[in-house]
């Protein structure tokens, strides 16, 4: 095609010899040429990128530094040591285990090019929209990420992963890639590699795993935090479901016959999780709480933390933690005797102290020993709060009264009406709290609305997930908050109506650089200062009554500096007949100018391992149904004396 001067045009666009819209429609030659150029450009770009990105040196997990946890005073609490990884030859991994992994993670492993274009496209789109970059990676890509790259979720890292996976697939046999993948993958419980995982979950070498056990371990590759069956009932259900799917998937992909599949009908239960001896006593519970806070605030996972190199500064006070443990141990030794009384079997204490002004968790008691009793009693959400929940009902009632003044009618002389509050519409409720009565709280729930009470409890710091259904008994404490959350929520009353979310880590570094996510938000207003003071005043009476000292005598002694007055207290009353006992209290030393001392929540319950429901409390600690309810106050008193 020539222009008006007779010269040939390189690109005939807009098209000459055409009129109207047809002038702007590209010819098939132009479309074909443009597409060819685009493909050639992309191919050239890919060739340049492919040539530019080399296979880097391996990330040596064995050279990673330990992660160190520090007490609040800066002294070292514990060093979590080198990565637990033991490499084994593929010949020592049963074929059935290999097949479980391939069926679960990458059924086309032996025939694909080492990459998944669909998975890469989905990951890039997710990252571009700000979502998680996950799913769709082949075994080769996962191996590359584990061995050669960081765990960053960026487009650049994903492109490098793609190119390196292609190169690895072209340069190394599939069997070798599978071997190294199995030796570098994270299985949870501090285990990198199939050999370490076999010992962590079944106490055997990888070579001794059967197909059923192999399928359980293969399920963990999807995420041990969700599929480790030892981490709760929900995890166990997910593990069993995926275990069945992996076995069935092997039949569908031809890796297992139906006859072989029929042999594996019973789920092979793994060993319970075990902690290293360095985390004995309370240390393991402290590390658990610190890690939970880190994961919720930074997005890091157990796998990330297990790679090591972190310096974690916690809020835990060394002296208070040891004094709290000593207080629980002393009361337990004096009052709990499982050999003498059947009711004392499976008795468990949990406790936590939280600082009102900023929400710092300064001490906790999670159980007798983290290497023997794995559930953290200070952080479990399974124990009914009972009457310790009633102050939230009182606070909701007082706040409603403060927010809704009533008007007096015009008097006989026509005086201007003015807003006034009733003299004390909730006097009966306050008295019921002090006397340990329940009916007024059920009535208050009907009058206030249960949702109002629930909303206040959540604002005060209780997790919504731990709160019970909104039924008539809700105000009586059917909810199951943890000791940490109960102590935190009570700081609302001693903190003048303000609440700061509890936290366990003040700062954290990796290779000397600070990790983001530890900025502390300002405390939020939950109730007015006046309401907080009214609730605190009522709780002082509860505290003095439960601690066995007449209020008048206690006030006299406190004035002489002989005792520390309880500024907040709540307890599960004997009449509740619930399967738990609580005591939540704080103190303010006379002549102290530092404000209120930490609030401490102590709980006692009975839980038989492997059973979901709590056992009855009647008879715990001695004869009489009321005996068990006296033990949490005894722990608090012993702890208070130790820290005074």
Tell me the pTM.
0.76
Across 320-341, average pLDDT = 95
Find the range with the poorest average confidence among 141-150, 213-222, 589-598.
589-598
Give the Cα separation of 557 and 545 in Å (integer).
15
Q: What is the DSSP string of 221-283?
A: TT-HHHH-GGG-HHHHHHHHHHHHHHHHHHHHTTSS-HHHHTT--S--PPPPP---GGGTTTH
Residues 6+ apart with CB under 8 A from 310: 67, 68, 508, 509, 510, 515
Find the range with the poorest average confidence among 4-18, 157-171, 242-256.
4-18
200: left (phi over 0), alpha (psi -120 to 50) or beta: alpha
Find the range with the poorest average confidence among 182-191, 306-315, 369-378, 560-569.
560-569
What's the order of all strands across the beta sheet hosting 186-188? Answer: 84-85, 191-192, 186-188
* Mean pLDDT for all residues in the chain: 82
Residues 6+ apart with CB under 8 A from 332: 347, 349
Across 421-441, average pLDDT = 74
Q: How confident is the model at residue 47 (pLDDT cuts 50, 70, 90)?
A: low
Residues 6+ apart with CB under 8 A from 31: none
Position 544 scores a pLDDT of 73
Residues 6+ apart with CB under 8 A from 174: 109, 110
Q: Tell me the pLDDT tens digit for each residue of 177-232.
A: 999 999 989 999 888 899 989 999 999 999 999 999 999 999 999 999 899 999 88
Integer CA distances (angstroms), 57 to 60, 85, 137, 164, 436, in order: 9, 18, 21, 12, 68
Residue with the larger pLDDT of the pair 467 and 163: 467
424 pLDDT above the threshold of 70: no
Question: Superfamily assignment of 83-261 in CATH?
Answer: Biosynthetic peptidoglycan transglycosylase-like (1.10.3810.10)
Position 425 scores a pLDDT of 45
405 pLDDT above the threshold of 80: no
383 pLDDT above the threshold of 70: yes
Q: How confident is the model at residue 33 (pLDDT cuts 50, 70, 90)?
A: low
Across 365-376, average pLDDT = 91
Residue with the larger pLDDT of the pair 373 and 379: 379
Position 564 scores a pLDDT of 47
Alpha-carbon dihedral angle through residues 224, 227, 231, 232, given to the nearest 10 degrees: 160
Q: Tell me the pLDDT tens digit for each residue of 147-158.
A: 876 656 566 667
Q: How confident is the model at residue 489 (pLDDT cuts 50, 70, 90)?
A: very high
Across 51-64, average pLDDT = 55
Pairing of strands 310-314, 361-365: unpaired
Position 381 scores a pLDDT of 87
């Amino acid at each position: 095609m020539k222009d008006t001067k007779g010269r040939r045009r390189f690109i005939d666009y807009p098209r000459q010899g055409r009129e109207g819209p047809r002038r702007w429609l590209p010819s098939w030659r132009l479309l074909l040429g443009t597409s060819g150029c685009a493909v050639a450009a992309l191919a050239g770009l890919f060739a340049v990128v492919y040539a530019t990105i080399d296979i880097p040196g391996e990330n040596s997990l064995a050279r990673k530094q330990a992660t160190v946890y520090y007490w609040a005073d800066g002294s070292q609490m514990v060093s979590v040591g080198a990565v637990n990884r033991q490499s084994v030859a593929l010949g020592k991994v049963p074929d059935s285990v290999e097949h479980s992994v391939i069926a679960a993670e990458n059924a086309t492993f032996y025939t694909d090019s080492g990459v998944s274009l669909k998975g890469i496209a989905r990951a890039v789109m997710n990252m571009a929209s700000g979502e998680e970059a996950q799913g769709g990676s082949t075994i080769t890509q996962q191996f590359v990420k584990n061995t050669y790259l960081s765990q960053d979720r960026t487009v650049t890292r994903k492109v490098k992963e793609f190119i390196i996976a292609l190169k690895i697939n072209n340069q190394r046999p599939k069997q070798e890639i599978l071997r190294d993948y199995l030796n570098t993958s994270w299985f949870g419980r501090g285990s990198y590699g199939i050999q370490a995982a076999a010992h962590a979950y079944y106490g055997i070498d990888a070579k001794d795993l059967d197909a059923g056990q192999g399928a359980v371990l293969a399920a963990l590759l999807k995420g041990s935090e969700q599929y480790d069956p030892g981490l709760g009932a929900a995890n166990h259900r997910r593990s069993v479901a995926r275990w069945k799917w992996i076995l069935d998937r092997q039949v569908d992909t031809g890796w297992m016959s139906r006859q072989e599949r029929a042999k594996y009908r019973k789920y092979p239960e793994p060993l319970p999780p075990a902690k290293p001896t360095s985390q004995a006593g309370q240390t393991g519970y402290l590390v658990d709480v610190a890690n939970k806070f880190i994961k919720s605030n930074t997005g890091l996972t157990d796998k990330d933390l297990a790679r090591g190199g972190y310096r974690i500064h916690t809020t835990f006070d060394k002296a208070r933690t040891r004094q709290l443990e000593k207080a629980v141990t002393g009361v337990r030794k004096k009052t709990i005797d499982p050999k003498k009384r059947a009711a004392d079997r499976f008795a468990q204490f949990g406790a936590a102290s939280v600082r009102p002004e900023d929400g710092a968790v300064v001490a906790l008691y999670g159980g007798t020993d983290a290497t023997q009793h794995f559930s953290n009693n200070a952080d479990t959400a399974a124990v009914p709060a009972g009457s310790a929940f009633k102050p939230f009902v009182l606070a909701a009632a007082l706040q409603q009264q403060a927010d809704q003044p009533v008007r007096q009618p015009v008097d006989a002389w026509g005086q201007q009406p003015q807003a006034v509050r009733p003299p004390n519409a909730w006097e009966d409720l306050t008295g019921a709290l002090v006397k340990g009565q329940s009916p007024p709280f059920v009535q208050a729930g009907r009058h206030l609305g249960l949702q109002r009470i629930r909303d206040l409890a959540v604002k005060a710091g209780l997790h919504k997930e731990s709160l019970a259904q909104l039924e008539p008994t809700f105000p009586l404490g059917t909810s199951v908050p943890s000791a940490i959350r109960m102590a935190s929520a009570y700081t609302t009353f001693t903190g003048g109506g303000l609440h700061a979310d509890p936290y366990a880590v003040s700062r954290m570094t990796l290779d000397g650089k600070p990790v983001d996510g530890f900025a502390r938000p300002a405390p939020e207003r939950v109730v007015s200062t006046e309401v907080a003071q009214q609730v605190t005043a009522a709780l002082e009476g509860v505290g003095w009554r439960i601690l066995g000292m007449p209020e008048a005598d206690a006030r006299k002694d406190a004035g002489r500096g002989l005792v520390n007055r309880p500024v907040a207290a709540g307890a599960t009353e004997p009449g509740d007949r619930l399967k738990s006992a609580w005591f939540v209290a704080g103190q303010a030393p006379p002549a102290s100018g530092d404000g209120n001392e930490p609030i401490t929540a102590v709980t006692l319950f009975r839980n038989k391992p492997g059973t979901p429901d709590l056992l009855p409390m009647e008879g715990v600690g001695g004869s009489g149904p009321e005996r068990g309810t006296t033990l949490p106050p005894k722990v608090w008193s012993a702890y208070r004396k130790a820290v005074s």
